[in-house]
Chain A
Amino acid sequence: MTDTLHYEIVSPERLLKDAEAAMIVVPGVEGDFAALPDHAPMMSTIRPGVVEIFETEGATPDRLFVKGGLAQISPSGLTILAEETIALDSVDTGELNQKIADTREDIDDAKDDVERARLEKELAWMVALSDVVAG
């Protein structure tokens, strides 16, 4: 048994992280799950939320907000295909709240269901982000 888990976080633009960790908590659509070394192979879509990377056991985790994506655990490690990641300390709360309000208005004005569904998805990640920032 290896005591660290190899993980990669990939965004469409580049390979964000490629390292080892003791444990990673991933916000799956059906609930958060922790990936430990030698986890059974699985695949899960991610809801907007925070990925917590514990480099060593009991350490303070590295927190990274992901807008959604896909996590894949294979025998060789964990791969997160993230749509977009946001560093939590770069978030401007005022701006975010403004955006949430704007999107809410847009949803009310949306012309068709497709547009509304798209906007609701946008809103979902923004609300999730603001919840996280607010603690």
Chain B
Amino acid sequence: MPSLKDLKVRINSVKSTQKITKAMKMVAASKLRRAQDAAEAARPYAERMEKVLTGLGVAVKDQPGASPLLVGTGKDDVELVIVATSERGLCGGFNTNIVKAARVHLRAQIAAGKTVKVLCIGKKGYNVLRREFKDKIIDVKDMSAVKRLGFGDAQPIATEVLAMFERGEFDVATLFYAKFQSALVQITTKQQLIPAPMPEAANENEGSDDLGGAVYEYEPDEAAILEDLLPRNVAVQLYRGLLENAASEQGARMTAMDNATRNAGDMIDSLSITYNRTRQANITKELIEIISGAEAL
């Protein structure tokens, strides 16, 4: 049976923990709003880019000499897996889920005899993945200095990835991140970055529908525009993934901290009951001692 003093100390410590989790929840909520706004603001660009690309890509795809960023290198032996996670913990299952999905994928690829390379964005994913895939990890991008994610943060990573692709260091690139749906739901997503995924069903007619059904003049020609657009698309997709990830992280943290605050409240309640019972038991005990002492006289 813990003494009264022990109980008091415990209650106080849970109370201060609760204060911290509550503050973290509120911080996460305001950061979430900002991250969500950023993710929404980035949507028009990505959507328009996608439209143009789909329209162009379908037309150019079958031509000889199409960019390897579009049609691939013709092999899929070496895969670059980009795992985007957070820099900080205390966000529930957020990092675990991403890492789990990446790990399943990595194991499957290795079992199939493919070579994999891992690029970690965010050190939380790296800390877990290095246990199993240490020799596969080629780089870790530290994003902890980034306060507010901008396109300028995603672009250097994309440039590096593209440079590796041009040197023939991998054939396929896949990005793992959590797509933001709501503060409660984040969907772990696997997205192919290189070669650019093209909707298989879209035929040429549908492609031109996307562009408003008009016949376009191209300046320079389609292939050259595509050549210019594809590398940019990689950066945009990566940026979008990172933005979604940032929003998801805050959402997950908010939910986790909300739960923690509630748990702390429950714990304080049950500890207070024990505290009061013990206190009453002590009083009763003292009374009995006094009364029995008086009776003995």
Binding site for B on A (CB under 8 A): 8, 10-15, 28-30, 40-45, 70, 72, 74-76, 79, 81, 83-84, 114-115, 118
Verify A14–B163 contact, CB threshold 8 A: no
Chain B residues within 8 Å of A75, by CB: 212, 214
Return B232 CB to nearest CB of chain A, in Å: 7
- Report if A70-B216 is in contact (Cβ < 8 Å); known contacts: A11-B151, A13-B38, A15-B44: no
- Give Cα A10–Cα B42 distance, bound, in whole angstroms: 9
* Residue contact B212 to A13, C-beta cutoff 8 Å: no
- Determine whether the beta carbon of A114 is less than 8 Å from that of B163: yes
Q: Is the CB of A43 within 8 A of B151?
A: no
Cα distance, A13 to B239, chains bound together (Å): 9
**Minimum C-beta distance from A81 to chain B (A):** 6
Once the chains bind, are A114 and B151 in contact (CB under 8 Å)?
no
B: contact size bracket:
20 to 34
Contact for B48 among A10, A13, A45, A118, CB less than 8 A: A10
Please give the distance in Å from B122's CB to the nearest CB on chain A. Answer: 20
Contact A45 to B225, CB < 8 A, known contacts A11-B151, A81-B49: yes
A70 adjacent to B42 (CB under 8 Å): no
Give Cα A30–Cα B225 distance, bound, in whole angstroms: 12
- What is the CA–CA distance of A43 and B56 in the complex, to the nearest angstrom? 11
Q: Is the CB of B42 within 8 A of A41?
A: no
Q: A44: which B residues are within 8 A, CB to CB?
A: 218-220, 225
Question: Which 8 pairs, one residue from A and one from B, show the smallest C-beta to C-beta distance?
Answer: A14-B41, A41-B214, A42-B217, A44-B219, A12-B151, A10-B45, A74-B212, A41-B216
A41 near B215 with CB under 8 A, answer yes
Residue of A with least CB distance to B226:
A45
Q: CB distance B219 to A15 under 8 Å? A: no
The answer to whether B175 has its CB under 8 Å from any CB of chain A is no
Interface: B167 (CB within 8 A): yes
- Could you tell me which B residues sit within 8 Å of A by CB distance? 38, 41-42, 44-46, 48-49, 52, 150-151, 159, 163, 166-167, 211-212, 214-220, 224-225, 228-229, 232, 235-236, 239
Contacts of B219 in A (CB 8 A): 28-30, 42-45
Contacts of A41 in B (CB 8 A): 211-212, 214-217
Which single member of B150, B159, B225 contacts A13 (CB below 8 Å)? Answer: B150
Please name 8 further chain A to chain B contacts, defined as beta carbons within 8 Å, in addition to the given A11-B151, A13-B45, sorted by A numbering. A10-B44, A12-B45, A12-B235, A42-B217, A43-B218, A70-B225, A74-B214, A84-B151
Question: A15 vs B211: C-alpha distance in the bound complex, in angstroms?
Answer: 19
Give chain A residues whose Cβ lies under 8 Å from the Cβ of B41. 13-15
Contacts of B218 in A (CB 8 A): 42-44
B212–A76 touching, CB < 8 Å = yes
Cβ A70 vs Cβ B44 within 8 A: no
